[in-house]
Amino acid sequence: MPILETATGRLSYFDNDCVEADAPQLLLLHSSAASHRQWRPLIAALGRGWHIVAPDLIGHGETPMPDHGKPTLEEEIARLTALLERMDGPVHLVGHSYGGAIALELAGRQPQRIASLAMYEPVAFGLLRDSSQRDAWREIALVAQRHIDLVASGDPRTAAIAFLDYWVGPAALLAMPEPMQAYVTGCMTAVASEFRELLQPGRAVPADLKSLTMPVLLLCGTETTLAARGVVAELRQYLAAARVIELPGAGHMAPLLQPDLVNPVLADFLDIAAQITKRSLRRAG
């Protein structure tokens, strides 16, 4: 995989090496405890008509943790901004869970570069802190603090069991093959930092998201967690023009576990968004 050296550290990423000059650009951001590999079914479905880049976020896949051991959201954004600068023209952006929260940040900071934004249950938990979603905030605050405490005490395996129990279902980690169990457990330190960053006071959606003009798709599942539903409900106030779709029977990890439910919706949205972008570029040219 290609490696990008940035001011805040190394970033590994997948690039499908599409050489078509007018191919639309797509950046895919994975969820916590996953890697760029979660997008392989979507990449296959879209085919060679897209230039697709999918990084491994900090502490996942082949992108290492920083020496100081507690990556920040600003470091994540800095590395992805450097990657974004290597992509030509408008970029379509898709994110899931933590990757969705990061996609939201990128779109708010660089709206001129983002042609469309699609998110599956972005975990912008800061929105819940002072909202009417009190039960959702209490739920995720307890989940996050337990996770952080388990990692700090040197017990990442118990943290991994609890993490997947919450997001997938009981005994989800133990049902995985041993290599996957080891991988997920190895991601728990990075996940602790992600929780810490996403729940800190003042961490919410930038107000200027209300003025975003690119096409926006917000997806959620009917079988997801209270906290994920709460974030989607709050986001609808910031993204009034977004197309919001609820997928029957889908859980929070549907992009990995139920791709047949999610990927056709993403592919349809991206196809339409790419056509809109192409027409805009023609008019501008």
Total H helices, total E strands in the chain: 10, 8
Q: What are phi and psi of 119, to 5 degrees?
A: -135, 135
Mean pLDDT of 62-80: 92
pLDDT of residue 91: 96
Contact 71, 193 (CB under 8 A): yes
Residue 138: the pLDDT is 96
- How does pLDDT run across 147-198, given as a tens digit for each residue? 999 999 999 999 999 999 999 999 999 999 999 999 999 999 999 999 999 9
Q: In Å, how far from its chain's centre is CA 153?
A: 27
DSSP state letter for 13: E
Q: Which CATH class is domain 3-125+205-284?
A: alpha beta
Q: Nearest 5°: CA angle at 265, between 165 and 137?
A: 40
Q: List pLDDT tens digits, range 114-129.
A: 999 999 999 999 999 8
Query: Is residue 207 classed as helix, strand or coil in its secondary structure?
Result: helix
What was the pLDDT predicted at 90? 93
Q: What is the pLDDT of residues 5-39, one digit of tens each?
A: 998 899 999 999 877 778 999 999 999 999 999 99
E-assigned strand segments in 98-211: 114-120
Domain boundaries, the chain: 3-125+205-284
pLDDT at residue 281 greater than cutoff 90 = no
Mean pLDDT of 230-258: 94
